[in-house]
Structure 1
Amino acid sequence: MKRTQAMIMTICGLNMFSLLLLTPASAQNKFPNAIERSEDAGRIIELLALVPGSGLPKELIEKAEAVGVFPKVEKQTALFSQVSQGYGVISARVADGWTMPAFYEFGGSGFANPFAKNETYAIIFLFMTKDGVAAFEKGGMALKGQKKALAGPIEPLTDEQRKELEGAHILAYAYYNGKLKGTAFGKSSWKNFGLNPDNKVNKPLYGLKGREVLAGKKVETGSLPAGIPAYQEALRKYFGAK
């Protein structure tokens, strides 16, 4: 009897050990796209921080209340219509650095040159004010009106540019073939753009909605797959202090 009980305990112990070993791998397999997004966005932050003459003004990103990177945005044109779509991450600045990456979708559509080429590029958003970040409290954000994204300036900044940027909520850049340029979203009535939470990732991954992650709600990091914090880690490493 005792021998049987000992065998049962041994088997149970082995099963528990096996579960512990399998859990990280299972988590990795469950969120491969999310891991790729965070890692790709982190690499873009690293490139912009380390490559001389990248063009991203360090003084702006150090003042930003949140930073979003959408590593692969696809722009497709058919007849006179253009559609842009891509998935990325946004982290907000908090007391101890940056939040975990909240997963968001960028999308837009409108009239366009019918001969424009299809392209894939990255988009970087700098949310310069608390009001700009607070707009996510309702869920998604339409990039229009006061929340339109202005074309971000390229380094070095002039005093005139600094003055023009006073009161700007959101600045945007396109990153294509290793080159950065300011690009605007929401200035034209012919095109509509917006940011929406990808809660099909946020909820199962964190147990939180995207806006809750950006608000700084606590995330249990112990069970997160390796690679998910990559974007947060890049921001902490290169732009930790404000």
Structure 2
Amino acid sequence: MKKIFLFLAILSLALTKAGAAEQDTVNHCAAIIREFRQIPERAIPRDVLRHARGLAIMSVFKAGFIFSGKGGQGVVVARTRHGWSGPSFIATGGAGWGLQIGAQVTDFVIVLNNDAAVRAFSRGGNVTIGGDVSAAAGPVGRTAEG
């Protein structure tokens, strides 16, 4: 009985810590959206947001010296009949090599224009090898290399 109680106590502490980490991710993504809205040249046009079926918001850290690694996390939210859904958590990671040195953090807001795009971002287990992605957020474009 004591072992079960101890196990449940440890599990609840772990879940509480996980919940705090998820809340930190949500708070960071909300800050990204606020930042994008406050800088006119980075703002997503209202008409684009009005027709969006969802948004993927994430922050990606990349560092390397010849070999590189990158990782990031964020959320996907979908438009519902009553507003926006709660967040679905997403993550990305990768490795590379080549002539490179340095570190950078890039914030992304990806506008999802149809339900299939929302499902693709919400589904787990996708792998891309050697992929490139380009995205435009309002009048300013953003590029990410995989």
Q: Contact between 1:77 and 1:112, CA under 8 Å: does it hold in 2? A: no
TM-score of the pair, normalised by structure 2: 0.71
Q: For residue 93 of structure 1, what is the amino acid of its counterpart?
A: R
Instruction: Report the counterpart of residue 233 of structure 1 in structure 2.
Output: none
Q: CA deviation at 1:124?
A: 2.0
Which secondary structure state, in structure 2, belongs to the residue aligned with residue 113 of structure 1?
strand
Consecutive unaligned residues of structure 2, counting only runs of 5 or more, are 1-14
Q: For residue 151 of structure 1, what is the amino acid of its counterpart?
A: A
Taking a change above 3 Å as real, the CA distance of residues 77 and 130 of structure 1, as seen in their structure-2 partners, is same
| Pair 1:86-2:46 in alignment | no
| Structure-2 separation of matches of 1:136 and 1:117 | 28
| Structure-1 separation of matches of 2:86 and 2:32 | 17
**Aligned residues: CA RMSD:** 3.0
Q: For residue 124 of structure 1, what is the amino acid of its counterpart?
A: V
Instruction: Report the counterpart of residue 213 of structure 1 in structure 2.
Output: none
| Structure-1 separation of matches of 2:121 and 2:62 | 24
Q: For residue 117 of structure 2, what is the amino acid of its counterpart?
A: G
| Structure-1 separation of matches of 2:133 and 2:111 | 9
Q: Contact between 1:63 and 1:128, CA under 8 Å: does it hold in 2? A: yes
Q: Contact between 2:135 and 2:143, CA under 8 Å: does it hold in 1? A: yes
Taking a change above 3 Å as real, the CA distance of residues 129 and 141 of structure 1, as seen in their structure-2 partners, is farther
Q: Which has the higher strand share?
A: 2
Taking a change above 3 Å as real, the CA distance of residues 48 and 153 of structure 1, as seen in their structure-2 partners, is closer
Instruction: Report the counterpart of residue 124 of structure 2 in structure 1.
Output: 139
Question: CA offsets per residue over residues 66-110 of structure 1, 9 Å max, x none?
Answer: 111113x2101132x322101111111111111111111122333
Which secondary structure state, in structure 2, belongs to the residue aligned with residue 118 of structure 1?
strand
Which structure 2 residues correspond to residues 36-75 of structure 1 after superposition, within 5 A?
Answer: 36-71=24-59, 73-75=60-62
| Pair 1:77-2:64 in alignment | yes
Q: CA deviation at 1:137?
A: 6.7
| Structure-2 separation of matches of 1:57 and 1:113 | 37
Q: For residue 141 of structure 1, what is the amino acid of its counterpart?
A: N
Q: CA deviation at 1:153?
A: 5.0
Which secondary structure state, in structure 1, belongs to the residue aligned with residue 42 of structure 2?
coil
Taking a change above 3 Å as real, the CA distance of residues 122 and 90 of structure 1, as seen in their structure-2 partners, is same
Which secondary structure state, in structure 1, belongs to the residue aligned with residue 51 of structure 2?
coil
Consecutive unaligned residues of structure 1, counting only runs of 5 or more, are 1-26, 156-179, 186-190, 192-242
Q: For residue 56 of structure 1, what is the amino acid of its counterpart?
A: I
Question: CA offsets per residue over residues 198-226 of structure 1, 9 Å max, x none?
Answer: xxxxxxxxxxxxxxxxxxxxxxxxxxxxx
TM-score of the pair, normalised by structure 1: 0.46
Instruction: Report the counterpart of residue 151 of structure 1 in structure 2.
Output: 135
| Structure-2 separation of matches of 1:135 and 1:125 | 12
Taking a change above 3 Å as real, the CA distance of residues 47 and 59 of structure 1, as seen in their structure-2 partners, is same
Q: CA deviation at 1:136?
A: 4.8
Taking a change above 3 Å as real, the CA distance of residues 58 and 111 of structure 1, as seen in their structure-2 partners, is farther
Instruction: Report the counterpart of residue 94 of structure 2 in structure 1.
Output: 108
Q: For residue 120 of structure 1, what is the amino acid of its counterpart?
A: V
Q: For residue 64 of structure 2, what is the amino acid of its counterpart?
A: T
| Structure-1 separation of matches of 2:91 and 2:122 | 16
